[in-house]
Every structure is written in structure tokens, then in C-alpha cells.
Amino acid sequence: MALIHHTTLKPTKVELLAGWLPTRPWYHGPAAPELVKAGGFRLDDPAGEVGIEFMVVTEGAGGAEGAEGADSSGVYLVPLTYRGAPLAGAEHALVGTMEHGVLGTRWAYDGCHDPVLTAGLLALIEGRTEAQAQSITDAPDREVERSYAGEGPVPGLGAPVDTDESTEFAVPGAGLVLRLRRVLEPGSTPPDGTAGQVTGAWQQPDGTRARAVFATLGRI
């Protein structure tokens, strides 16, 4: 169970992301975005060492406008991991470092390159763990929904590959691909034939709640 500390972070997560997002191939917004944390959820690391968060950010008041005529390019899903020491071999995935008021220096990584997060995402899809609220200790996030129609656990994932809208992981020898949506589209639904999926919600600039597909496991 992850313990949520209500303390200071310097810089903040949103400040880190404002400099990092424009370097990503799936980001389609301004070079200097004004980001707002709009939602997301956490997962527990079974070892209790790594913080795991799936954060939704919008481009301020110019982000998503709702399910009808939404500007989906303004809403991004960013999976992050937080570690107390650098992750060996993941220098390319480092988002930045922060000073935590309780835990000290934290290394923040693009979680798609962190095996603790990808294992947690598979566990969520398969129903072996449940999503947790972002800011409350030991509180399940009931807005996150998942399903899995496969037989047995996914045997493993290949290296992440970024596209214009997603990060994708092939499942070796299974003819499957895990797609984690980076650009969120309000009201989206999983495609036909999806073997597993995760959907979640966030708050739009007008105060309403939007839902979308966060991740799918389907045929290549």
C-alpha cells in the first residue's frame, strides 16, 4: 500500500511535465504549455519501493471541451514512476528530479520504460490489483474500470514503441499488442476484439467529467 504524503515538491510534477511533454512524438500542443493536472490514478508497487501514477493533464483552459467536438489533442495520459535512486539503463526515460518534503530527492521516469509500472498495468488489466486514488492512502478509485477476456496472464511485453497517439508494447509470440493511449479522446470506447482494457476519467476545464479508454490489449 502506497502512503500518500501531503507535502512539498520542488519542482512540481506539472512543472516537470511542462518541459518534458513537448519533446514527445505524441504531443501535439504548444512548445510552452500551461498544464493542469486533471485526473488519473495510482497503483501499488508490491515491493513498496516505487511510486506509480497514471496522470491526466490538460493544456489549461484550452484543453478538452467535452465529448461533443472535443479537442482531444489537449488531453494527455502520462504514466510516471517515482524512485529514491536512479533506474539503471533508463536515462533516456528520465522526466526529471524533484525534492520531496519527506522522501528527499525523487527520480521521475516515463513509466512506460519502468518494468514496475508495466507489470502493474498488466496486473490491473487482468484483475490482480485495483486502481488507487491519486491523493488518498488506501482508497480504491471506483472511476477506473477494467476487463480481461484472455486466458491466463500475459507472458510479458516487448520494448515500448511511441506512435503519434500511443505507446505500444508487443506481446512476444501471442499476436497481441498493449496500447497505452497518450492522447485521450473523451467518449472513446475499446475497438472490437479487445481482449483487455482500462478506462478512466478526468475533470475538464468546464468542471464536467469525461471518460476515455486509457489502455487496450488487442490483436496486432
Task: Please name which of 83, 61, 54 lies closest in space to residue 184, comparing C-alpha atoms.
Answer: 54
Work out the pLDDT band at 70, boundaries 50, 70, 90. very low
Work out the pLDDT band at 4, boundaries 50, 70, 90. low
Q: Which three cell numbers stand for residue 124?
A: 490491473
> What's the pLDDT score for residue 136?
86
- Residues 6+ away with beta carbon under 8 Å from 88: none
> What's the pLDDT score for residue 94?
98
- Whether the CA torsion 158, 156, 183, 105 is positive or negative: it is negative
Residue 122 — φ and ψ, nearest 5°?
-65, -40
> What's the pLDDT score for residue 2?
60
Tell me the mean pLDDT in the region 32-56: 96
pLDDT tens figures, 112-170: 999 999 999 999 999 999 999 998 888 999 999 999 998 889 999 999 999 999 999 99
Q: With 70 as the cut, is the pLDDT of residue 62 above it?
A: no
> What's the pLDDT score for residue 61?
54
Q: What is the DSSP string of the chain?
A: -PPPP---EES-HHHHHHHHGGGSTT--S-SS---EEEEEEEE--TTS--EEEEEEEE-GGGS---SSS--GGGEEEEEEEEESSPPTT-GGGEEEEEEETTTEEEEEEEGGG-HHHHHHHHHHHHTSS--B-SSSTT-B-TT-EEEE-SSS--------EE-SSEEEEEETTTTEEEEEESB--TT--PPTT-SEEEEEEEE-TTS-EEEEEEEEEEE-
Domain ranges of the chain: 9-219
